Structure 1
Amino acid sequence: MARVALLSNPRSTGNRSVLPSVRSFCAEQKDIFHYEVEHVNQIGAALRTIARVNPKVLVINGGDGTVQAALTEIYRGGHFSGAHYPDGPPPVAVLPNGKTNLIALDLGSGGDPLVALKRVLELARSDMAPHIVSRELIQLSDGSVGGKAVLGMFLGGAGLADIILYCRHKIYPLGLPNGISHALTMLAVMVSIVFGLRAAFLPPRPSRVKVSVLKHGEMQGHFALLMVTTLQRLLLNRTMPGADSPVGAMQLMVIERGRSTLFHVLLAALRGRLGRVGVSGVHLERGDEIRIESDRSSVILDGELFEARTDRPIVLKPTAPVPFLRLAA
């Protein structure tokens, strides 16, 4: 039995520099079973093989697409079942590899992926129970019976999806460090909202979106931000508003577009009070079913792009809790 199974995608941008060191480290450790895939469609076969070595923990080393595809396959593939897995799949750890690393950040994994892997191995050689946490996944589908569903943990829609796509297609190609890229993106967003400018080098104005939360009503408009997550921490190490609430697995935050709203949101965020005090134009909900409808508005679930339409809404539901390994104390 391998203590740690590591699933790596060499094509991930973050792995271009770190993977040689990871390979060398794994070659020196008898406790690590390392499996590499070239494409996300190979992840199912990879997990079938990994399941045979019965690891104590499964580590994902790749970008957002790799993590999302692996989580979907772990939950839907049935590879970790039977006598060897009476309690279901082993806990999952995520190395900090993608552009934003939101899932890794939530699990206390930041900085150097190799350092994080060493920490996983250290925990796997001891009692991991105090470090295992549960997180629901977000199940995204069109709501139809038998329709294909994908799983993730963070969804951005409305203006947030436009911002992510703008950063991906306009800023990242400049080759700047992630921190500078994100700062430039936010500057462009603030300029477009505060001054009302519209130009090809700025993020576009978001499309009109309707959001419905089961048993909590609906809202619609041109939103600056629409976010749904089951994570408890996001960028800047901020705890999600209501993260400790037992009511509703998915957390929804919607922020209206406007200069005054943007100013008050930034002020509340800097003070660490966003979601803890009422801010005009900010809507917070928790629920077990969220529907997003629009005339061709994009949403992004853990890096993968989907389109919400009026005649084909996006439906979000939580899964049963899935075990993860938290690296921080």
Structure 2
Amino acid sequence: MVRVALLSNPKSTGNRQTLPRVRSYCASNPDIFHYEVEHVDQIGRALQTIARVEPTVIVINGGDGTVQAALTELYQGAHFPGRVPPIAVLPNGKTNLIALDLGIHGDPIKALERIVAIAKAGVDEHVVARELIALSDGQADSRPVLGMFLGGAGLADSILYCRNRIYPLGLSNGLSHFLTALAVIASILFGIRGRFMPPSTRPVSISLIRDGQLAGRFAVLIVTTLEKLLLGARPGDSRTGNMKLMAVDQSVPALFRFLWASLFKGLGKGAMQGIHMAQGDTIRIEGDRSSVILDGELFEAAEGRPIVLRSTAPVPFLRLAA
């Protein structure tokens, strides 16, 4: 009996070093069915094959784009009639936010060993429900893309700056993120601009159905359905919706309040000027060429073509810590 179905993308950055070990481990373990894809377009067919072996758990082993495409196909592809098996995500890619939220970190082989052990013993105590973010242009006939963490406004610009300017330097992820943070802070504090600095943020409008609208320039915009927002913030009342939103004004005082509250775990514990936190089930993001990044993939709003976010029905995930 197959306990774990592992879907791997050998072209993801993290797998270039770890995949040979993963292949060796899977080859010696009859409890694992290992399927590899080289492009996200192959994920639908992969999940059709995986459904035939009826796994107890599905594990995604790839970068942010692979995870996003697999979640979209699992939710919309109807490959598992009745109920999708719980999903786990191996630590891979640049951010690993979904894996961290599920308590999966460190060496991928050790994480995989733990997942196999849980699948053998029984998964019920480890299954948690998470809603996904369905991103679309709001049209009835559009096929949404699904994910769990969206960064927009200045945060999206910073991610793109790191991806296009800092990562090519070949530095470690930690150092790359540190240098990006320094450049972003310098551009906000001192107004430094230039070819090798992060771009200035564009105006954006954020609408929460039933809860009003925010408009302006934001240094940070986060929407997520993960259990915790980045840096530990927990906003709002879940009765208003499952998507958590945090926006920080593009101003020096707001940025300092945000950094201070982040360091001392004060985010979400009280109102702070320039820091906006809310929850909702439908969010519209509008602006002229305003970028958002959903689980590593870039999308762009335009005049008359907003980005619409809706939360989905709960999806089962496997959390390692019961």
TM-score bracket relative to the smaller structure = over 0.9
SS at match of 1:225: strand
Q: Over aligned residues, Cα RMSD in angstroms? A: 1.2
SS at match of 1:199: coil
Contact 1:105 1:234 in 2 (8 A): no
Output one character per residue of 1:81-110: Cα deviation in whole Å (capped at 9) or x when no partner.
1xxxx3x10000000001010111111111
1:327 and 1:15 map into 2 onto residues whose CA distance is 21
Structure 1 unmatched ranges of 5 or more: none
Output one character per residue of 1:211-245: Cα deviation in whole Å (capped at 9) or x when no partner.
0000001011111011100012355xx43313884
Residue 124 (str. 1) matches residue 119 (str. 2): yes
Among 193, 199, 206, the residue aligned to 1:198: 193
Superposed counterparts of 1:139-218, under 5 Å: 139-218=134-213
Aligned to 1:53: 53
For normalisation by structure 1, the TM-score amounts to 0.96
Letter in 2 for 1:105: L
Superposed counterparts of 1:52-71, under 5 Å: 52-71=52-71
Structure 2 unmatched ranges of 5 or more: none
2:217 and 2:236 map into 1 onto residues whose CA distance is 26
1:177 and 1:129 map into 2 onto residues whose CA distance is 37
Output one character per residue of 1:104-151: Cα deviation in whole Å (capped at 9) or x when no partner.
111111111111111111111112111100000000000111112110
Residue 255 (str. 1) matches residue 248 (str. 2): yes
2:195 and 2:39 map into 1 onto residues whose CA distance is 33
Superposed counterparts of 1:1-329, under 5 Å: 1-81=1-81, 86=82, 88-233=83-228, 238-242=231-235, 245-329=238-322
Output one character per residue of 1:249-298: Cα deviation in whole Å (capped at 9) or x when no partner.
10011100111111111111100011112221000110010000001111
For normalisation by structure 2, the TM-score amounts to 0.98
2:232 and 2:57 map into 1 onto residues whose CA distance is 25
SS at match of 2:5: strand
Contact 1:91 1:325 in 2 (8 A): yes
Instruction: Please identify, of 221-230 and 243-252, the stretch whose mean Cα deviation from structure 2 is larger.
Output: 243-252
Letter in 2 for 1:327: L
Instruction: Please identify, of 49-58 and 174-183, the stretch whose mean Cα deviation from structure 2 is larger.
Output: 174-183
Contact 1:105 1:233 in 2 (8 A): no
1:272 and 1:55 map into 2 onto residues whose CA distance is 40
1:268 and 1:312 map into 2 onto residues whose CA distance is 35
1:40 and 1:234 map into 2 onto residues whose CA distance is 27
2:316 and 2:237 map into 1 onto residues whose CA distance is 17
SS at match of 1:139: strand
Letter in 1 for 2:248: I
Output one character per residue of 1:30-74: Cα deviation in whole Å (capped at 9) or x when no partner.
000000001000000000000000000000000000000000000
2:233 and 2:30 map into 1 onto residues whose CA distance is 39
Output one character per residue of 1:160-215: Cα deviation in whole Å (capped at 9) or x when no partner.
10000001011111111111111111111111111111111111111000000000
- Aligned residues between the structures: 322
Cα deviation for residue 318 of structure 1 reads: 0.5
Contact 2:133 2:312 in 1 (8 A): yes
Moved over 4 A (4+): none
Letter in 2 for 1:320: A
